[in-house]
Copies of this chain bind each other. A is one copy, B any other.
């Protein structure tokens, strides 16, 4: 008897013997249909696509019994309403960047990426093995949300500028589309942060309503065409050294899931986490080359500007921490973890990358 026949026969026997207990068997694999609202439009195939990768694993792993339908931002819930929608149970879950909800609580800002915080791998280390997921969930539980890391963009770029920005002085009065904690840090440096929805950035830059805008990185930014109206592309995006996206699940809905579906969801989220990063890393190199070929001027932020932003960031964290214990707990944990991480990363990781970037060209 072949293995497959044996399995089928054995399974058949088991099924017959337990037919009277059928409800109990079926209960372990009920039909469940959820709705997931993404914080992103379908056109961002990297970041939006991670929710589709996740949803497909969940469906395939449960023989289609646990279906999570993915909706683009605005289809049923807008980007900035996603947390409220999960908290209230309007949708069972969301896939989004928690810093979009910094207005509700600055702690949401720190969860995606603390400016001058961890790089992408360090984010995962903190989240999975550095107590990060526990701290994040202690906070999100106050919004009836269970949070799972669900992707990373990599270190982002530092935004598009209509003019060169050589010193902190050049930031004075500059209207920049930049949100959350980064916007507050930019304000300390003299810039005027603006809230502009993704689709409105291009015309605002074109008309000069704003002078600068940050978005993500080469692949996503290229789609929005910023290089045509703001040629100076600065780096690095010190406010998002490693931006973690999250799957946010309503805690009541989570509790209703069979344990097996919980495990499927958790594994699928981790799979989406690594695969979103991999996709960004695979598509960004060609994008940045196309951007440069199309006239984009790459510029590093000056050391003086980086230092000034770093100092302003520490000041801001002190101010928020004095008033917000949740923020303080997470920012302190992230900062301590980061200092340890870079002690190690500067050894093998950094010297390997240094040689591969510079050394072998000699």
A interface, CB within 8 angstroms of B: 3-4, 7-8, 10-12, 14-16, 19, 22-23, 25-32, 57, 60-63, 116, 119-122, 124-130, 154-158, 217-218, 235-238, 241, 253, 256, 258-260, 262-264, 266-268, 270-271, 273-275, 277-279, 281-286, 288-289, 298, 300, 303, 306-307, 310, 338, 340-357, 359-360, 362
Contacts and interface: CB of A to CB of B under 8 A. Distances in A.
A348 to B, nearest CB: 4
A194 to B, nearest CB: 22
Given A8-B23, A235-B348, A270 B263 contact: no
A12 B22 contact: yes
Contact of A340 (B286, B340, B350, B355): B286
B345 A350 contact: no
A341 B282 CA distance: 8
14 contacts: A3-B256, A7-B27, A11-B30, A19-B19, A57-B263, A121-B278, A121-B281, A128-B274, A236-B352, A238-B352, A241-B352, A267-B267, A286-B340, A307-B362
A153 to B, nearest CB: 10
Nearest to A358: B346
Contact of A23 (B12, B22, B273): B12
A170 to B, nearest CB: 19
Given A155-B352, A352-B236, A282 B126 contact: yes
Contacts of A286: 340
Contacts of A57: 263, 266-267
A43 B103 CA distance: 47
Contact of A124 (B278, B283, B285): B278
A345 to B, nearest CB: 7
Contact of A61 (B23, B119, B237, B264): B264
Contact of A154 (B22, B217, B348, B356): B348
B61 A285 contact: no
A222 to B, nearest CB: 13
A7 B22 contact: no
B236 A359 contact: no
A348 B270 contact: no
Contacts of A271: 266-267, 270-271, 274
Nearest to A7: B30
Contacts of A154: 121, 348-349
Contact of A273 (B31, B253, B274, B360): B274
A275 B270 contact: yes
B12 A278 contact: no
A353 B350 contact: yes
A236 B128 contact: no
A285 B340 contact: yes
A61 B19 CA distance: 23
Contact of A155 (B273, B348, B360): B348
A46 to B, nearest CB: 10
A360 B116 contact: yes
Nearest to A117: B356
A162 to B, nearest CB: 20
Given A128-B275, A350-B353, A360 B307 contact: yes
